[in-house]
Amino acid sequence: MDINAFPTSYLLMSIGVMILLSAYFSGTETAMMALNRYRLRHLVRRGNRGAKKADSMLQRQDRLLGVILVGNNLVNFSAATVATVIGFQLMGDTGVLLAPWILTIVFLIFAEVAPKTLAAERPESWALKAVFILKPLQKVLMPAVALVNVVSNALVRPFLPSSDDDDQLTTDELKTVVVEGATSVGERQRMLTRILDLESVTVDDIMVPRAEIAAINIDDALNTIMTTVAASQHTLLPIYKDSFDNVLGILHLRRVARLIFNEDFSKADLLQLTREPYYVPEATPLHTQLFNFQKERQRLALVVDEYGDIQGIVTLEDILEEIVGEFTSDYAANMPEISPQEDGSFVIDGMAVLRDINRALKWDLPINGPKTLSGFVLEHLETIPETNVCLRAGDYQIETRQIKDNIVKSLIIRRQSTPQPDTEDVDAED
């Protein structure tokens, strides 16, 4: 066959058509592989036709890649043949040698890099339109695709994992998806990350310590008990006898209203209004305790350690605040344990919880050890000082103000504006 019988203009037009076809296959491959699978499934549930076709094809990636690569290579090799003919017609043997180099540059720019870049930037827009051509083409090229798949699958099967993880995400991976992919949802994004963090936080991290629990001693006079009830800022109050280790029940203050019109009510009548105390281990994760509160229809639990001793209380509201944040607009202003000073330091109660301090002041005191500020200081000192001392822990300069009953009652803390050395200086005051 005389290759000069083909008009050069027609051959150049065919090269242009094959560049477009190659660009389609190259861009479609990139777009299909770059699709967000979770958004794709969302579009499928909404009934998007393109999403349904794309999801169906992605179920068999070997067939998807097979039809794309068969089509792309068929176009590219055909273009190489046509380019060789054009080169020979225009420049003879020299054109035959130059044609592959020129064609490679042209295809690399217009049929590979440019379309793949565009498809990678807008995979959803490209893929959901491209599948309307790709799906019928898959049926046309099925014999060739099936042959390619049989051979390629046999070659790669020894290297494939024995089990399929089915695209399941771990908690950390899901958290990354929420942080990186949900920037448009604002506060809801922070709530989602807090929900995921519940798994790593236990009830003893957020409980009210035993020393700060507001409770009723049934041995007190009835007038004293009613004064405590009237002055309480809480809805639920534990009632104990002798010591807090002997809790008799939990009193809902709304029930006390039943006794207001009964002038002869006694402590026994008050105890009849209580509910059985509900105990939980201190190491219970918050997400588990949230479901336990729902299951047991409880709102307050007594937190016990491995020896059964009561360490504090945790409420349903405490867990909800870990998800939605504090219900007050200015948390620091509503924490009586924290008193800001004119010099930028803070006077803080020693029994204040570290997590609450961090949340109120935007600090980063370590919370993987002691739960209270007093415990944090005593751990650093490794002893109970007889007089007030100063110490530095990371970026924080701490001065004790009052030490009583083996507890640091009050402290002054100042956060340094510049990073400090890791060394810790402890000096006793005169």
Per domain, the residue ranges of the chain are 3-159, 170-200, 201-314, 332-428
Q: What is the dihedral of CA 404, 407, 411, 415, to 10 degrees?
A: 160
Q: What is the per-residue pLDDT for 428?
A: 42
Q: Residue 281 contacts by C-beta under 8 Å, 6 or more apart in sequence? A: 203, 303, 304, 305, 306
Q: What is the per-residue pLDDT for 148?
A: 87
Q: What angle do CA 411, 416, 420 make, to 5 degrees?
A: 115
The residue ranges of the chain whose pLDDT is under 50 are 329-332, 419-430
Q: Residue 423 contacts by C-beta under 8 Å, 6 or more apart in sequence? A: 392
Closest CA to 69 of 29, 104, 30: 29
C-beta atoms surrounding 219 within 10 Å: 11
Using alpha carbons, list the distances in angstroms from residue 187 to 170, 174, 179, 193, 357.
23, 17, 11, 10, 21
Using alpha carbons, list the distances in angstroms from residue 430 to 378, 396, 406.
20, 22, 20
Whole-model pTM above 0.75?
no
Q: Are 121 and 22 in contact (CB under 8 A)?
A: no
Q: What is the per-residue pLDDT for 304?
A: 94
For the record, the structure tokens of 240 come out as 């104990």
Using alpha carbons, list the distances in angstroms from residue 249 to 127, 142, 274, 282, 367.
63, 74, 5, 19, 31
Cα–Cα distance for residue pair 296/278, rounded to 1 Å: 9
| Helix H or strand E segment including 307 | none
The residues facing 414 across adjacent strands are: 397
Q: What is the per-residue pLDDT for 162?
A: 59
Q: In what order do the strands lie in the sheet with 310-315?
A: 208-209, 310-315, 300-304, 279-281
Strand 407-415 relative to strand 346-349, pairing: antiparallel
332-428 topology per CATH: 3.30.465
Query: Which of the following CATH numbers is that of domain 201-314: 3.40.50.720, 3.60.150.10, 3.30.360.10, 3.10.580.10?
Result: 3.10.580.10
For the record, the structure tokens of 408 come out as 């640091």
Return the sign of the alpha-carbon dihedral for residues 40, 46, 52, 56.
positive
SS (H, E, C) 128-143: HHHHHHHHHHHHHCHH
Helices (H), 35-141: 37-45, 49-58, 61-91, 93-107, 114-121, 123-140
Cα–Cα distance for residue pair 300/290, rounded to 1 Å: 11
